Structure 1
């Protein structure tokens, strides 16, 4: 074993000891005292009406450079004074590189960093299986190549899904899991796919679809449900979809930035289910919350003729009526998608087999938008619907997209308010998709395995003490912090929670050290394989300042046959010049001086070995990413197996990263391991990453 291998082995062994205590930790925070809270927001009165305006040319390209004086805004045909005006840029990115290279973006953002809020509602209740899979590919492409820093995104199926993944987030790992869990809910050949209790000819087994090409419906119901009642199952599914949209709008109402809803569906039948009024209510709610919906029909071109899947029982005795009903179904399903989009200021993308193109056009159209605000005359906040019209003076060649109006009323709060304001503040902050940095926190979960190959997780919470208001008393520096946290599994259930108070009573030397190096709190938890999210909340008692943090950890089944990796551990102590990295180069902070270096280590589980000598064919590649783009891409090289490894089940490896002339910024170290022995097996690649900063 050479010197470097020995150093690396010592470091991995030391990591097991360092995470078991709570102590002061190093932190270099040169600008901490100069930063201000990013929670400062502009207060807008309830009587200010704000409109998101998208202006495009005839080719659908976003138009920039317009001024306040270029716009005319009418409220119920009366010209209004535009009191608020701004141009917001939300242009995304295009990843350059091979399709297997993902771009890592910041995993948590504050309210001031939000650029776009995008909610994808994938209506699996009204989609054929092939449309679900097509939508899944569209979402994966968006996450990996179109999502940009400042995006807050949600993927939501009305048919239900895993609680952990149904949340707004900037964490691509959460979104990839949400997209990967989309599943077809119905298996029907209907032009407007839906579930039905109808027992007529052609109904799918188990009520999972209505008669093919017919209007379907509940027995005894005539066309349109006018002389009878709608099919209960079809009506319930439509109302469930609309309820999902309503709940989504309520959640988006509180969020900043351009708020886009992307409704991916083959549409639903409003007339047949008597839900036209319900859709109107959803649209009114969206306009009040400034949520713009775009509809995407993923089915592509539909010839609406006979297909090989149509049987004689489906067609019946009258081919003409069969085809007429099919066309009526199609038009009615398209109407629901078109109405939702146009009446909220969006567009409806249809009749294209390239569903990604529709999303790309949507993103291009919204790469910039104008925010216009006006105050109605006194007494005009009358609870009625007001029609709004926006135009660009003297530019008939430009297309202005905006919602058609607003209801001049305030939403009444739902539910009983929490009587304890501090408890209410904590619940709101820790459940928010946006983090608070009044107190700066850095939360890092790590996992390894025990001697029995059982996984356990250690969380490191670093608290920046430079923003705390210590009280000097009797030669000591005192402060009190409330610390609360939750660990949530993939079902959305809390598997661990805690709340305690940190009473700080520091000597002058310790106080000075804490200001520059910060505070560290740790917690160890035995867990099962699975995906977990950690959420942390810290509040200073004296000032009321708040800090929140969240992070995701995917703990693999270390006893399975799937290639997997432990967390990545970093340190500077075992490099040639550890002092050059500065005081912030600890495991919990990972803030390194420019031009320095740090070591990284990890364990590889379940490699495939051949022969009596247990020879493996593992290769490793490292990349460094900045704002989603690779700034360094290493070559694939054979994995160096360090002493202490248990080949092939547990292999220790690592390396040293030279920071060189990297400019100060936040980065991501990505390590990918390839098992060549598995060839094209999907289990042949494992990827892990960790954030760090250069200062």
Structure 2
């Protein structure tokens, strides 16, 4: 029987002032995983990021350079000129991402979020017939599952009577397959835990019933026969009817453009180069453009209108049918401008299955959307991935430029950017974001935008933020079911409290476990309000430590945790490698006991805790709570516990290596000395000893890697971040 009283005793009982639960987003817009800790440190130093509460603004500008239809590679920082308005600015950051050189698993390579390709699959259920929705689903599946790069982030959204996000930006192809198949039509049990960031949707038991979400059907223009044109009375009646139908179509177009304008606002909060893959039959062209894109029946009607004008019967002629609806045109132009300013192209996909002559009255709107945002239109294709191959190749090389704007006014105005290529050959095309807005304060963003930004940070996997935080994730076998993976998260109190003026500290925690293919295998989240009258002193002294857990099958995972103050918007994203044991040998990260009184200790709700597992952290039979990021004095020593599964029985040896933030090993950085009579054996081995830090280590953050060699000469390594005081 497990001793749960010892398990719970160190955790402080604090009055939690529960914040109002945010309405669950069906998804949020929004990969890269854990390289070695040293590489993560280098990336964090090299890549400037927007921060919710920083006084220095860094603008990142993704750029593609195309010549003769192919991307130009091997350019350097010195090849570019960057202008903020008319003023040349210094390029303070530079990176190159060439997807042809990024191979392997999605979580094996860190790519700056702003340099990653983002594709939003946007299904139009408003103007698209049910049969065409099925073609759109197949086209999207072909694109995602066969043509996109593993590091591409993809989201799914639909428009029925308003835009709805089904799945946030993710590299998880299994979730995308389900989202494309369901288009959000999922019946969710009350017992299912919903993902507040929309990176996970529920399992799907049935495919989408075609056409269930098409609101009001699709408008089709009625034909005009020869007899009707000979009757002036019938023509007048028909004009009235057509005006009413066009008014309805104009209202529907207004709803669509308004919804897409909202979508462009959401996309503007996503960093990087974005593509909306708009799967639609198009909007009624005649409402937008009048007599452009006419069918044969339209042309016959136009001849009759011309005859009526010649004979002075102008009352029979509908002016909007000739020149188009000006309000609809203006709304369309505003919407497309918003997409351009959001650095988002529309790749329009005609899913009608019709040839050009049959679809001409609708295809014009798709062509305008693509042309005016720098995208392309695709029609009459067999496989959408094949049709988009050239576009995908042109966008496979991204140069990420960064600069710091001077004297930036928080006036909400759009700032235009220009990127020039020095000595560029004739015909070279430079594609870049057209400009930027000054960053808004956290209070100015909507809950949806906050969730979207959080989801993108989690899937990006690049450690960043303005809260000093750390995470420790370990895996232990369980007597039944999946393995138990406790996750310990710490956050510095002064950072959490900065800017908080009230009596409650609202904290949000989102934690995800991604496998090597970028698939989210488990997650947990919590929103809490800490009563500062009771807990403020403890938080100020050090900070908080939160204990959650994943339930996972054996394997290697990237644990990603986003922690945020929901008043100030200050946040941190921290990551760690998680090894869940199976039949093979696994060495967990080195564990350093620390006093339970050091932090304000909090734990997941009792209903969420595993009751079938023993307390996992023991030192000579006594329970302890390990540090998420151990701290040790220069030349000092600290207790250490090495937990291994399935080591060969017998004597072991241990080697320690300390790496600096640059990834270089520090000579005489430290050593591990095991206590006497330490040996491995059985399914679970606990090797206890001391870590002695090198006397020449400067204060700062390092990575400690420990390698255990067992009696069968098997070498097994694991790492943990450490801080030298």
User: TM-score, normalising length from structure 2?
Assistant: 0.47
Larger Rg belongs to: 2
